[in-house]
Structure 1
Amino acid sequence: MLSIVLPAKNESATVARVVGGLCAYFPDAQVIVVDDGSTDGTGEIAATAGAKVVTQPYSKGNGAAIKRGALAAKGDVLVFMDADGQHDPADVERLLYKYGEGYDLVVGARSGLGSQASVARWGANSFYNKFASWMVGQPIDDLTSGFRAVNRKKFLSFLYLLPNGFSYPTTSTMAFYRAGYSVAFLPIKVAKRQGSGHISLLRDGLRFLLIIFKVGTLYSPLKVYFPFSVLTAGLGVFNYVATAIMSDSWRFTNMTALLVSSGVIMFLLGLLSEQLTNLQYKDVGVDED
């Protein structure tokens, strides 16, 4: 069985069209709209269009809505997509076809500036993709896309890791890579969002920057900590040599001691984080079929 989950907050202008399209393409699928504290009748409109509506009494965030929808779903395969009209219901079939090739997670990857909400978002997402690709050693075409098909059991095993905000796609993608599951990216085109968005560049800018550190924490902390530890300790050695040349005295200064010890501490923190990450994924990967 297929379950399609749409988090929705004040999407009354588009939710009926999206739900209607999904019901037409997949009449046997379970379509779930998680009404995240809407004030414009989104839930009632979605129910009339044929969706099962799960109502949050107040807005808890996109990630919280996704988690609530995943728990309410009955299907073996989950498809997550937006209710704002950006994603084409016809592309769900393409995701499922790719998923059927043996993947555990298939992500609809936006390509090009025209598929992003703004130049700033496109630049930030491009950076995230390159950084995450370096972390996992595999090309990641779209780290933050919310349009995806996934194995429900495996997704639920990572539910405790997922944040309540907009970074759930990043967290789930990196968690699947870390657990050794198969991930694929399928190029898609997205339509221009109808209505105002729920992401503010100023409000969420720092939050999105924290995604970078979350990527490292979820996948391999030592891979992030180690370069910084080497750089810091290297600056300490450079300071020691430079001081000796300028003063003609090989003194181990306070600055040298601070830099070298900071580098060692960074390395040890990375090593500890690596071990904790290994423990976090120790029991992941056991199917209950």
Structure 2
Amino acid sequence: MAVNGRFDRPGAEVSVVPAQVNRESNAPIEVTVVLPCYNEQAHVLAEVERICVAMDASGLQYELLAIDDASTDRTLEILRGAAGRFPRLRVLGFHRNGGSGTARRIGTEQARGNIVVWTDADMTYPNERIPEFVRLLLGDPHVDQVVGARTSEQGSHKFLRVPAKWLIRKIAERLAGTRIPDLNSGLRAFRRDVSLPYLRLLPPGFSCVTTITMAFLHNQHDVYYLPISYARRSGSSKFHFVRDAYRYLLQVVRMVMYFNPLKVLMPPSLLLLTVGSGKVVYDLVAHPVRIATNTVLLLCAGLIVGAVALLADLIVRSRIDWPPGNRS
């Protein structure tokens, strides 16, 4: 039976319009599949059906939380019309576009399942394999997140996108100190209770998937990578190469700064101090009792960056990450 409800949260970037909610029974929900949708009218129904068929066959207790991000087409109308066919479907509709990161954050907050799955509605990810992701989490209590590692690249701007993503991934691996087969895969399953302290860190755009990966890795949560295929998307891509690649890189550096600023700031500080010290020796040999102005600037810059690194590290170590709802 479908009923209308409203979902209000303090501090949310977007308002949420009344949404259709399907509650089949009082049985506990094991899994919540969060499906952000934006202008997906041509294929969103096929994606909902594919997910529901796979989850129904798995025997898992689940809900499918489809979030319409203020689509300008008939996506929301189609989703609400599908509620009668799919009793596990729950629909939220935003008043204005908030980005996929906002949709995923709010979806995770509203999830009733202990395990949350993120995926896309553009037919690119093998969503029929979602039960496999969930069972990996259920079968191994030490794993907190399962990420679908794509074995091919089918996105737009392929010749620019592949090397750019490779470079950003290598930077992330260097800063995180671990191998990351796929940094920004949109298909993943994780434990909701583990993710809650990090939801406030999620940016509104595509780099939210990068953020949740880096947050888990930096806090010693085990992440398992499961190889998956990746199909050509249906509809038009919302990815903008220059803008989103810049955001990915910026978010990687931001997350490392948040958890371990010494890894970002101390190397340039030591480099500046080393070059400056070498320049001091050169100046004294070439021009006795005279140190050049640029040498002094190098040393001062190295000391300033080093001081900021130590101060940032002190702030990180003294910070208390209050769980959501328990902040004083």
TM-score by length of 2: 0.80
Q: Is the 8 A contact 2:155 2:233 kept in 1?
A: no
Q: Which runs of 5+ in 1 are unaligned?
A: 285-289
Deviations 1:239-278 (A, max 9, x none): 223333333x142332111111111111121122223233
Q: Distance in 1 between matches of 2:278 and 2:250?
A: 30
Q: Does 1:196 align with 2:236?
A: yes
Report what 1:273 is aligned to. 312
Q: Which residue identity lines up with residue 219 of structure 1 in the other structure?
A: F
Q: Distance in 2 between matches of 1:79 and 1:175?
A: 17
Q: Distance in 2 between matches of 1:246 and 1:129?
A: 44
Report what 2:46 is aligned to. 17
Once the two structures are TM-superposed, the CA of residue 165 in structure 1 deviates from its matched residue by: 1.4
Question: What is the identity percentage for the equivalent residue pairs of Structure 1 and Structure 2?
Answer: 33
Q: Which residue identity lines up with residue 266 of structure 1 in the other structure?
A: V
Query: What does residue range 254-269 of structure 1 map to in structure 2 within 5 Å?
Result: 254-269=293-308
Match of 2:221 among 181, 184, 201: 181
Q: Does 1:32 align with 2:65?
A: yes
Q: Distance in 1 between matches of 2:318 and 2:102?
A: 25
Once the two structures are TM-superposed, the CA of residue 146 in structure 1 deviates from its matched residue by: 1.6
Q: Distance in 1 between matches of 2:285 and 2:43?
A: 70
Report what 2:99 is aligned to. 61
Q: Is the 8 A contact 1:115 1:189 kept in 2?
A: no
Q: Distance in 2 between matches of 1:128 and 1:206?
A: 9
Aligned residue for 1:33, secondary structure, equals: strand
Q: Does 1:172 align with 2:225?
A: no
Q: Is the 8 A contact 2:283 2:290 kept in 1?
A: yes
TM-score by length of 1: 0.91
Q: Distance in 2 between matches of 1:279 and 1:115?
A: 44
Aligned residue for 1:237, secondary structure, equals: helix
Q: Is the 8 A contact 1:240 1:251 kept in 2?
A: no
Q: Which residue identity lines up with residue 18 of structure 1 in the other structure?
A: E
Q: Is the 8 A contact 2:176 2:256 kept in 1?
A: no
Query: What does residue range 135-154 of structure 1 map to in structure 2 within 5 Å?
Result: 135-154=175-194
Q: Distance in 2 between matches of 1:207 and 1:155?
A: 21
Q: Which runs of 5+ in 2 are unaligned?
A: 1-29, 324-328
Q: Does 1:4 align with 2:37?
A: no
Deviates more, 1:177-186 or 1:79-88: 177-186
Deviations 1:67-120 (A, max 9, x none): 1111221111000000111111222122123222231111111124x3444232
Report what 2:5 is aligned to. none
Once the two structures are TM-superposed, the CA of residue 236 in structure 1 deviates from its matched residue by: 1.3
Q: Distance in 1 between matches of 2:55 and 2:291?
A: 71
Q: Distance in 2 between matches of 1:32 and 1:280?
A: 33
Once the two structures are TM-superposed, the CA of residue 179 in structure 1 deviates from its matched residue by: 2.1
Q: Distance in 2 between matches of 1:66 and 1:250?
A: 62
Aligned residue for 2:127, secondary structure, equals: coil
Q: Distance in 2 between matches of 1:158 and 1:203?
A: 24
Q: Is the 8 A contact 1:116 1:122 kept in 2?
A: no
Report what 1:237 is aligned to. 277
Relative to structure 1, is the Cα distance of residues 212 and 68 closer, same or farther in structure 2, using a 3 angstrom cutoff? closer
Aligned residue for 2:32, secondary structure, equals: strand
Once the two structures are TM-superposed, the CA of residue 135 in structure 1 deviates from its matched residue by: 2.3
Report what 1:155 is aligned to. 195
Q: Distance in 1 between matches of 2:93 and 2:111?
A: 14
Q: Distance in 2 between matches of 1:245 and 1:120?
A: 48
Q: Which residue identity lines up with residue 316 of structure 2 in the other structure?
A: T
Once the two structures are TM-superposed, the CA of residue 282 in structure 1 deviates from its matched residue by: 5.3
Q: Which residue identity lines up with residue 255 of structure 1 in the other structure?
A: N
Once the two structures are TM-superposed, the CA of residue 226 in structure 1 deviates from its matched residue by: 1.1
Query: What does residue range 31-180 of structure 1 map to in structure 2 within 5 Å?
Result: 31-49=64-82, 50=86, 51-100=89-138, 101-102=140-141, 103-112=143-152, 114-117=153-156, 118-180=158-220
Match of 1:211 among 245, 248, 251: 251
Q: Is the 8 A contact 1:7 1:66 kept in 2?
A: yes
Deviations 1:102-142 (A, max 9, x none): 31111111124x34442322222222222222223221111
